[in-house]
Structure 1
Amino acid sequence: MGLCFSSSSSPSPNPPNYSGSTSNVGFSATTSSFGKSQFSEMASGSIDGEGSLPFCSPDGQILERPNLKEFSFVDLKSAAKSFKGDTLLGEGGFGRVYKGWLDEKTLAPAKPGFGMVVAIKKLNPESTQGFQEWKSEVNFLGRLSHPNLVKLLGYCWDEDELLLVYEFMPKGSLENHLFRRNPNIEPLSWNTRLKIAIGAARGLAFLHASEKQVIYRDFKASNILLDGNYNAKISDFGLAKLGPSGGQSHVTTRVMGTYGYAAPEYIATGHLYVKSDVYGFGVVLLEILTGMRAFDTRRPTGQQNLVEWTKPFLSSKKKLKTIMDIRIKGQYSSKAASQAAELILKCLEHDPKQRSSMKEVLEGLEAIETIHEKSKESKTRNSHNISHQHLRQRAVKV
């Protein structure tokens, strides 16, 4: 079984904000074995051509068929100023991502600075990723609608040109903020980190809650994008798979992903469980707490794999303090940090059956948020009481 992993230890100079995965997934960009007519049939049918996903929640839904605009290459080229350098947002394994402008109502190309800002992902013909991932992205994101999933507006298949058009996420990726590729970016506060974790958990829980579950398969910090208010949205569904059916516990597939985030059972056997995503979420939550990458060759020997190195620290309050991100010191209670560490350990259980579900993880994060809110209320009350007491003392003296 082939292992196709990318490492996050050597950041590229142009971080991908929408191209997401930098995995070497081994696909050719060729479309010769799959015609446009077949794609049209697929795009109007079920996800991945494998049956329906009847599901609807108060916040999200799975549509019967993709609700996407089919763009011409000429229109997208116009929207992105001919893909000039000053519109480049980032670059990843799939290709480059450009900023573009479209009319909000008609989605026709608009002049730069007018209309709605979008992100246009353009396939590099020489990319190791390609048509299969492009098709998967259209299949899944075209039908999945949820506040914590990036919205795909449309696609383009014009001759050899393959493009995808997304809503624009002005704050970029969680990875950029946690590891500060841009020195002008302020460190994320504890409150904001918790908000991002909860939003991403909601998105992943939504995917897992459908009748035929969606396994995301490549959950990592670079695939969590942030809007102007730091609301988290999961992006890049190129490696997504439908979950097991017919009473099966897993699907067997070629091992792909990013080193440091993939679950051990998946690496060892190619068996992909819904809870393989939960492991990846635990790794990202660990990154959020520590401010350190899942895998980094620049760290000393024995510390390069974040999970292996820090796991023994997570069950000890005293040791936990030594790995918490110093940039959020004083912003959280020890109880909140300990509960977050316990949650991470439940996500990182070696046996997938022993891991928490994403619904349970979400509930755990919301409970931690409640702890913080109660702590803030208590501090405000104490401050008010001290001020009131001080005023009474002054009144007595007078």
Structure 2
Amino acid sequence: MSDIAGQKSSLTWATHISVVFLVVIWLVPTIGLLVSSFRERDQISASGWWEAPFSVELTYRTRADSEPEPVDGGYRITGNIFETSEVQEAFADGEGRITAFGDSARAPGGYEVGTEADLGDGERLTVNADGSYTYIVPEEPRRPPRVYFEAASPPQFTLDNYRTVLTADNMDRAFINTLTVTVPATIIPILIAAFAAYALAWMDFPGRGLLIAAIVGLLVVPLQLALVPLLKLHQTIGIGQSFMGIWLAHTAFGMPLAVYLLRNYMAGLPRDIIESAKVDGATDFELFVRIILPLSFPALAAFSIFQFLWTWNDLLVAKVFLPSGDASKVMTVKIADDLLGSRGGDWGILATAAFVSIAVPLVVFFAMQRYLVRGLLAGSVK
């Protein structure tokens, strides 16, 4: 009796566990990016995002810039490392704790705190955990001596990364360019693919089966294979690197999935409705506009979500089919070239830029996500 239709499956628990597992896999990196977007670069490099609420041990260097005072056998410099000009900002809240110190970048933690280190040539250095130090030198120094130390730095969260990304030169222009590319590159393939899908689903003509097979085959062709030939074609016909060129490129790359998805959905629509409309004298165009399109809205919405996300987050196609000038850069190119080009290891900027760039796609996704599953399952049940 376990196979009776409508009876709840005994493997429901496995489905729930699988869904939770997939959600966690996607959610954990997203949370990590969000936390990292508010952290400083040094702290990101020193510890994982899950350690953000705790102190991080970092290496610093500064100068003992207090005034030297004469003592027997030389000069003495005393003060607090946390109050020196080079590191004062990093320990503004006064919660730092030194764990080791040294006199060179090769061994910044070569000596234990609280001990007197013999640095040679009569120089002696003592650094305590609270940051207080004593530096003994045989002669009056011409400039403050260097001190290297390792300290447990308190967690620091900042909005500087967001200020850097949002106030970058011409970032507002890049946002407008991204919309200029994404909106037409989403609408154009939907319009063309909808007509093609209707023809493949409800019109009988020679070679129909071969066209469907070719579309399925094009789904597995990498777009990288077509970049150079397509760019040469654009240059030959006179559109070159331009917004028109990138619109047509995204249309070409998105067309196979659009036609396949819409065709499957339209082929699953009730045949009685189509035949009744034809009996009443409806032409193919009237049938398509008044019946097929309204009923196919879930599939149209599903593809528009995918196409919008792919186009908005695209970097490769934008680099190939848009001019390199700052006036034509989209957000992904702007972030990659201008913000990260000179900051290869600045993960804080990268994480922040990721969240800034996904703001609009998230709005689109949550506004239309109820149609996504219905559209993707189109044609699976007759």
Give the TM-score normalised by the residue count of structure 2: 0.19
Task: Select the structure that is richer in helix.
Answer: 2
> If you compute each CA radius of gyration, which structure gives the higher value, 1 or 2?
2
Give the TM-score normalised by the residue count of structure 1: 0.19
